[in-house]
Amino acid sequence: MLPQPSTSASGRRAHQGDGLAADQDQRFDRFGLHRQELLIHPAQPSADGCAGHQLEADRRLLPDPGVNLTNARLRGVEIAAPPLRGAPHRINAFIRLSRLPRVLQFSKYQGLGNDFLMLDGRRAADTDFVFGLTPELVVQLCDRRFGVGGDGVILALPPDHGGELRMRIFNADGSEPEMCGNGIRCLARFLADCDGDGPGRTWQIDTLAGRIVPELLPDGTIRVDMGAPFLQSEQVPTTLAIGPAGLPQGELEVDGECFAVAAAGMGNPHVVIPVDAVDEIDLDRFGSRLEVHPAFPARTNVHFVEVLAPDHLVMRVWERGAGPTLACGTGACATLVACHSLGLSARAARLDLPGGPLHIHWEASSGKVFMDGPAEHVFDGVIPDREAVAAARLEAAGTTAVTPEVASATTGAPEIDCATVCANGCIRPDNCPSAEARARVAALLDSTSLDALVSIATNSLESRTRARFERDTGLSG
């Protein structure tokens, strides 16, 4: 059945020779398709319009029927051009809403080589399952050979305890720690880039470790008020008893070696081991075993530290759930607290980590620990939905459909490519393989306005790019 003509808000109507009705409204083309409507925004002459305005489907278009169309304006017809009758508009694009690509948009940031994938979910409606993240997906994303690569994934979410926003972080193994010092610096830099904030901006961020307040400094680094350390055994938590230094202390035997250790909490657990030479420590051997030592019921981050001077320490990091990392902000704070308590360092010191230095200050008057350090943008990217990628590969190979017989012969189980086989309706309504995906799309469309969807798709990368350009060049547009 040919698409039916439809009328625009302006009341004008343009009939095409092939039965396609294209509205000449200056804001969009409106097509009538199988008694439904599809709005196609015109191509933009500027670069700003190229990112996300070329194709936008109105929410009134339901996902089941096929849609055959080509927007002539996207083929070179200017917005002010004559009616489409004289423009090339042959129907040669086959688009289905069930196959419109879904993408995971992210930015990668690093703090002293401790790198994270940043996701902005501050406007998300479902904050418990935002972006569809699962531990398995986090592991895939953080894999440095088969994924994007990173020490973790960080979400910026709506507040739930009175702060400005909430932070969730997932380690590379899919576990969720309470906090991460380098991570929250990266989050602050990410927020500043997204929103165009300048020096002096602070954020009230709720974490599983409590309220954390980072501040953007004039030199572009981030100062974080990490709060007071936890020095009671049950707060860390650890089974080590409080020692003469006023924090949990003791000796732990690991793989035939005995270490004198001290523990401190920064909202997450840390064990600190002073040694004569950190470079001589087998970090993989001892770090992995200390992380899961019975003295730490929630596991622990492990830090070996060498004291060069009272105000200069060198440390190596084994992060809980991530293994050896180039830096750990909460670990640097815990290490300074432990070393000062043991009489090995001053209250303020530079701590050299494999990724670079952090400056830590344990303030005597307030008891709070402050951390100064860098956070830098690495790149932005998007990850397409696997189903969309598979469909694109089939198209590139010239395959229009995968029949149940072919799928059964190649995989041993009957499968259906709903995008092509079910063009005229679901052929397996009692056991539809795409029902769950369509339900997720429907839920998203029901819970999110069209304006919000467009804003998310078109503004995020552009605003961050502009903010970084203005910050780095001192120019504003």
Task: Spell 303-319 as b/e; 16+ CB within 10 A means b.
Answer: bbbbbeeeeebbbbbbb
In sequence order, the β-bridge partners of residue 213 are 225
The radius of gyration of the chain from alpha carbons, rounded to an integer in Å, stands at 28
106, 119, 105, 207: which is closest to 165 by C-alpha? 207
Secondary element (H or E) of residue 443? helix 435-447
Residue type, 135: P
Q: Of these residues, 186, 194, 328, 333, which one is catalytic?
A: 328
Q: How far apart are CA 238 and CA 249, in angstroms?
A: 10
Cβ contact 450:59 at 8 Å: yes
Task: Spell 58-91 as b/e; 16+ CB within 10 A means b.
Answer: eeebebbbbbbbbbbbeeebeeeeeebeebebee
State how far the alpha carbon of 44 is from the alpha carbons of 53, 115, 343, 451, 470, in Å: 7, 36, 65, 18, 24
Q: What is the DSSP string of 234-263?
A: GGTT-SPPB-TTSSBEEEEEETTEEEEEEE
How far is C-alpha 112 from the chain's CA centre? 19
Look up 180 and say whether it is catalytic.
yes
* E strand intervals along 208-355: 210-216, 222-225, 249-254, 257-265, 269-274, 301-309, 312-319, 323-325, 348-353
Q: How far apart are CA 396 and CA 392, in angstroms?
A: 6
Look up 422 and say whether it is catalytic.
no
Q: How far apart are CA 313 and CA 333, in angstroms?
A: 12
Residue with tokens 């200390």: 290
Q: How far apart are CA 303 and CA 289, in angstroms?
A: 13
**Sign of the dihedral defined by the CA atoms of residues 433, 437, 443, 446, in that order:** negative
39, 54, 29, 42: which is closest to 79 by C-alpha? 42
> What residues act catalytically?
180, 328
